[in-house]
Amino acid sequence: MPSTRRTARNAAPARRVVLLHGIWMVGATMQWLGTRLRAAGFAAETFGYHSIVGGPDEAVPQLAELLRGGGETDIVAHSLGGLVALQALAAEPGLPVRRVVCLGVPLCGSSAASNLSRWPLAALWLGRSAELLQNGCMAWPRGPEVGMIAGSLPHGLGGLLARFEGDNDGSVSVEETRSPQLADHVVVEASHSGLLFSAAAIAQAAGFLREGRFRHPDRT
């Protein structure tokens, strides 16, 4: 009787996953997350961009070019990176993207960024990404499944600027991460930057990449 076990030679190739960092970060910030996703069987690579001096006007077409030439791809994006990814999908609906996992992405716009922008000198910290952070991105073309992992550990300076009333990750509130167009939404106990290192967040991201949904302990 022939064996049904797959050998390394005929095993399906690892699925390509592009990682995007948030504002004030660099590609190396995603190293831990990329290592964990590769250990889970994904071919993770990082897309680095200049979040302050370049902003979305530069990053969106560069990301679209990267996605356009690599076959079907998934995306895992943190904070501003998620807005850049969704802007790329909106600008070019035919991009070969299957699923997008957003980590603490302010889809409704960041109140912390809006408050920071009221101070001329402080607004320089947001650079050319200020407008996108303030406005968010509530709609994108149908096709790619988009899931959101929000954090509920309020450790960060954003709380001083926004004075969140509900659950938040210290920079973005849980409510700012919601959109009716999301395929799924889950909250984990992690701060904004901690979402990149949280075992729970990484496990949820890997699960969504595989199945298009998160694991909700409160659901049967």
Sign (positive or negative) of CA dihedral 134, 140, 144, 146: positive
Based on its alpha-carbon atoms, the radius of gyration of the chain, rounded to whole angstroms, reads 17
Task: From 78, 82, 79, select the one nearest 90 (Cα to Cα).
Answer: 82
Q: Which of 144, 49, 158, 167 is nearest to 110 (CA)?
A: 158
Quick check: helix, strand or coil at residue 131? helix
Decide the pairing of beta strands 73-78 and 97-103.
Answer: parallel
pLDDT for 83 equals: 98
Which residues is 99 bridged to in the sheet?
A: 145
What residue type is assigned to position 27 of the chain?
G
Sign of the C-alpha dihedral, residues 79, 81, 83, 89?
Answer: negative
At 67 the three-state DSSP class reads helix
Task: List, in sequence order, every residue forming a beta bridge with 45; answer none if it has no partner.
Answer: 18
Q: Which pTM does this prediction carry?
A: 0.91
Q: CA 111 → CA 131, 135, 145, 188, 220, distances in Å?
A: 12, 9, 26, 21, 35
pLDDT of residue 162: 59
Backbone angles phi, psi at 156, to 5 degrees: 165, 165
Look at the alpha carbons of 118, 121, 124, 125 in this order and tell me if their dihedral is positive or negative.
Answer: negative
- Sequence-separated contacts (24+) of 164-168 with Cβ below 8 Å: 164/111
Task: Pick the closest to residue 49 from 17, 84, 76 (CA basis).
Answer: 84
Please report, in tens digits, the pLDDT of each residue of the chain (220 residues total): 444 444 445 567 899 999 999 998 999 999 999 999 999 999 999 999 999 999 999 999 999 999 998 889 999 999 999 999 999 999 999 999 999 999 999 999 999 888 888 877 767 888 999 999 999 998 898 899 999 999 999 976 655 565 788 999 999 999 999 999 999 999 999 999 999 999 999 999 999 999 999 999 776 5
Tokens linked to 30: 């995603």
